[in-house]
Amino acid sequence: MDTLQALILGLVQGLTEFLPVSSSGHLVLVPWWLGWDDPGLAFDALLHWGTLLAVVIYFWRDWWEMLMALVRKVQGRAAQGRDHLLLAILVGTIPAAVLGFLLASFFESMFGQPALVSVFMIITGFLLVFAERWTRSHQQGRSMEKLSYLDAVFVGFGQALAIAPGISRSGSTIAAGLVRGLDRPTAARFSFLLGTPIIFGAGLLKLKDLVEMGTGATGFAPLAVGFLAAFISGVLAIRYLLRYLQRHTLYVFAYYVWAVALLSLARYFLAGG
């Protein structure tokens, strides 16, 4: 893999990890469309750590306040509700963690199947459209301060769906948040905070495999470029989506994933697989 490929895949990972269009789906389809070889375990691990750094740095103040609130709670002092958000994140992480532990190998076998990934991307589009249609007839507008543990569990099950390649993690969790009555910026913000432990866990697993197998012949330059591209584009994607959802809907992302998926399916079947 050369540096240009690393740059493109890093940008794809950073943008699609946080925009509701499926990073796993794009990381299967982009190399397949371009005829590139598998970038390798080392590169995959560095991309995940790049997006993890993006979300941690962007929301560092939130995490710091939550941790300090938890410390004050343990000390018997007023925690101002931020410890509640931390516990909600931990509760919401459980469904994806359990499903990932039980079925990770099953879903990993799907990463080499562009047609199946495309089908899951179509499902992502339907989730986004369903959530937007739901908001028309149900009361919306709850902020982060009114987030309940039931909200966290429901959004957590949305996150668990994203173990399937092609189901967008941010898309399914934002959609779940909207169905629970959260306003769009809150649904997106909680989606990103909830995704942090899962991205961290996935990064640890990949790092473990990387240590066992070594970096191979990827080279330092592509690894560094991919990591930085994923980090920078991840920060920009988070910032963009939080601002975008203040006034806009998710429909454009649904149309996008449908277009990508249908084009990929057409190519797959016309080319005979």
Query: How many domains is the chain built from?
Result: 1
> Using 50, 70 and 90 to split pLDDT, how confident is the model at 191?
very high
* β-strand partners of 142: 182
- Residues 225-246: b if buried by 16+ CB within 10 A, e if exposed: bbbbbbbbbbbbbbeebbebbe
Contact 227, 46 (CB under 8 A): yes
Asked if pLDDT for residue 126 goes beyond 90, the answer is: yes
Comparing 79-93, 115-129, 130-144, which segment has the lowest mean pLDDT? 79-93
155, pLDDT greater than 60:
yes
39 or 224, which is more confident: 224
44: containing domain: 3-270
Average pLDDT over residues 228-257: 96
pLDDT at 39: 78
What per-residue confidence (pLDDT) applies to 78?
A: 61
The structure's pTM equals 0.91
